[in-house]
Copies of this chain bind each other. A is one copy, B any other.
């Protein structure tokens, strides 16, 4: 009597999951988050509340699951020119997305539960995107920060601001990058 982590695609279980996720996304975009309840989600998804309770446990777990899914990137970072430029463009949109109202809510949802699986998922997505950029730099022969340097000195300060302070400005983001990229003195 346990629930599979990855329901077989096309099965009933997968359909229920999709319907519930969709229902949550719809409701979060049309109504106040405080009014989103499991009975309402269940009604819109055409399932019984007990199905959701048994599968996710409570509203926070469900919201964390949905948020982690939504934080998964669509594709690889855009190719602008140099790896340096690609990095700047990608980080800027990352910062914007995270600092937006929806972005902040999703991060909070992911962090608000004790289980760290979803948080690690999100951090993994970010690191994967950065690795793609690092590989490009290597291909182009550009000097580039390591993954650890990028995580510590670019991503972390952005996330700290998003979570504890106000939104990081575009100038601030560019400055972090300029400081992290080796031998970069060309800008700001």
Q: CB within 8 Å of B: which residues of A?
A: 33, 60, 105, 108, 111-114, 116, 119-120, 122-123, 151-153, 155-157, 159-161, 163-165, 176
In the bound complex, what is the Cα–Cα distance between A29 and B119 (angstroms)? 25
Give chain B residues whose Cβ lies under 8 Å from the Cβ of A165: 120, 123
In the complex, besides A111-B111, A111-B164, A119-B163, 6 extra interface pairs with C-beta distance below 8 angstroms are A108-B113, A112-B112, A152-B176, A156-B157, A156-B160, A163-B163
Number of this chain's copies in the assembly equals: 2
23 CB < 8 A contacts A-B: A60-B112, A108-B111, A111-B163, A112-B112, A116-B164, A119-B163, A119-B164, A120-B164, A120-B165, A122-B164, A151-B157, A152-B153, A152-B157, A152-B176, A153-B157, A155-B160, A156-B156, A156-B157, A156-B160, A159-B159, A159-B163, A160-B160, A163-B163
Give chain B residues whose Cβ lies under 8 Å from the Cβ of A152: 153, 157, 160, 176
